[in-house]
Amino acid sequence: MLLDRELCYVALNAAYEAVTMRRRDELLGRNLFEMFPNEGEGGRRLRQSLELVLETGDTDTLAYIPYDIPRPAELGGGMDKRYWTAVHTPIFGSDGQVSHIMQNTVDVTEMVNIRQAASLPFRSGETQLLERAREAEQQHRALLAESTDFRRLFQLAPGFIAVFSGEDHLCTFANDACLRLLGDRNLVGRTVLEVVPESGEQGFVALMDKVYRTGEPFHGEEMRFVLQPLNGGEPKEMFLDFSYDAIRDHDGAITGVFVQGMDRTQAVKTQKRQQLLLAELNHRVKNTLAAVQSIVSQTLRSAKGQDQARMDIEARLAALSKAHNVLSLQEWTSADLREVIRQELSVHDRGRVSISGPSLGLTPKASIAVAMLIHELATNAVKYGSLSTEEGRIDLEWSRTKNGQLTLKWRETGGPTVREPDRKGFGTRLIEGIVRGELRGVYEPDYAADGFSCTVVLDENELTDDNE
């Protein structure tokens, strides 16, 4: 008889009708265990065998199984005590999955009765045959249990494992890690090129062909593989450590290829990222040392005394350090404009400083430049402007325009009367150098009598794209 995946009858022959005492029209479309229920050991073993075939795609044999069947009412009703042997063979569909199970069963009840009677020595050959069948099944079950344990270990192994048979590389086994790696593609029962055509385009099938042809193993490390998702999304880049090994039969002939390996994608990307960060760090250190050298030499040149020079140098280096701290938290990839400004103004009374504006991710170069700009403006405010008095304050706001510009407006109020200086000090020259040189922007100071203010206009591309 033939069952579908729900264990419902699809077809049966006349012999099956006779042995079960049921007509074809009674069984077709009905569930096996609905027609022949059995809550005992026989029912458990039969269901286990059928489920094993569906799960593994392998044939399973029950050499001896007690299974009572109901007697039709017209034959007196009740239960018939029966003993059977059965072979369950998988039938595969076009998708490579088990679609049906064929059962070839033999009623061995008479042989069991003979054994139990033990009074007919001339039938001892059949009794011995039955005993051997039972012993064979016990051995089969023991081997099956051991095989199932090994299969479970392979199935749950952290590395990917697959077995391919024949020169077309038909997959007969793929563990969970392998299926996850391939995006849960249905691999078993199909060739590798059917399921993963990109493996042929990228040379992996050619390597498998060589192993199948020559028997020489292949070992690859950090091999790049690009998988095209089934839903048509972005290609997925992977880096794999794996090996191909030939599978041989008892005569030494190659029958397939065994594949095992590990997904090293995360480790490889982490290593590459560390290399990039190290190169970036080396570059930043050189830039920082150059900036320190410039700050020290220019400050010493314009300072009025050693004490003043020391204080100015320490303050400017502290501003540089704060910008570095913000960048370090982001692994030197980006710093937020608001956080850079907040850090530089944090040493001043919060009640006298107001900042307002949208977030914007700055490159490392722009972060340091903006930090130094804000520091110099605040330093001038402390020395000569609004923060040099008890009532003065600073209002800083910035906004982004539709044409890709960032405008910062610095406004001081409540300080002493302002007049435009006769000469430019180092702080002013540094501000102009930062805006026009480092950030390639526009700096517009306004020395109104009631308070200094300035407007800085920057191109967002200079802030968010690292053009160094």
Domain CATH number, residue 333: 3.30.565.10
Residue type, 59: T
List, as one string, the DSSP characters of 26-49. HHBTSBHHHHS---SHHHHHHHHH
Tokens 């010493």 label which residue? 300
Provide the pLDDT for residue 120.
42
3-state secondary structure of 361: strand
Cα–Cα distance measured from residue 410 to residue 378, given in angstroms and rounded to the nearest whole number? 10
pLDDT tier, 106 (very low <50, low <70, confident <90, very high otherwise): confident
Question: Residue 444, SS3?
Answer: strand
Distance CA 50, CA 80 (A): 23
**How many residues belong to the chain?**
468
Identity at 43, one-letter amino acid code? G
- Determine, yes or no, domain membership for 393: yes
Q: What is the pLDDT of residue 172?
A: 86
Are the C-beta atoms of 45 and 33 separated by less than 8 Å? no
Alpha helical stretches, state H, 90-183: 109-117, 124-156, 176-181
Residues 361 and 450 in one domain: yes
Name the phi and psi angles at 219, rounded to 5: -125, 125
Residue of higher predicted confidence among 318 and 356 = 356
Tell whether 79 and 212 lie within a shared domain: no
Strand partners, 191: 170
Do 304 and 446 share a domain, yes or no? yes
- How far is 35 from 375, CA to CA, in rounded Å? 87
189 and 135 assigned to the same domain:
no
Domain boundary among 263, 282, 303: 263
Distance CA 259, CA 182 (A): 14
Better-predicted residue by pLDDT, 44 or 322: 44
Residues 361, 437, single domain; the answer is: yes
Segments forming the whole domain that contains residue 396? 294-464
**Domains in the chain, number:** 3
Take residue 261 and report the two structure tokens written for it. Answer: 């390996």
| 254 and 325 assigned to the same domain | no
For 117-132, the pLDDT digits (tens) are 444 444 445 555 555 6
DSSP run (H or E) holding 66: strand 60-66
Please state which of the ranges 262-271, 306-315, 359-368, 388-397 shows the lowest mean pLDDT. Answer: 306-315
> Which whole number is the average pLDDT over 278-289?
59
pLDDT value at position 291? 57
Distance of alpha carbon 206 from alpha carbon 212, whole angstroms: 10
As a whole number of angstroms, the distance between CA 434 and CA 453 comes to: 17
Distance CA 355, CA 5 (A): 69
Residues 383 and 300 in one domain: yes
Whether residue 178 sits in one domain with residue 142: no
pTM, two decimal places: 0.40
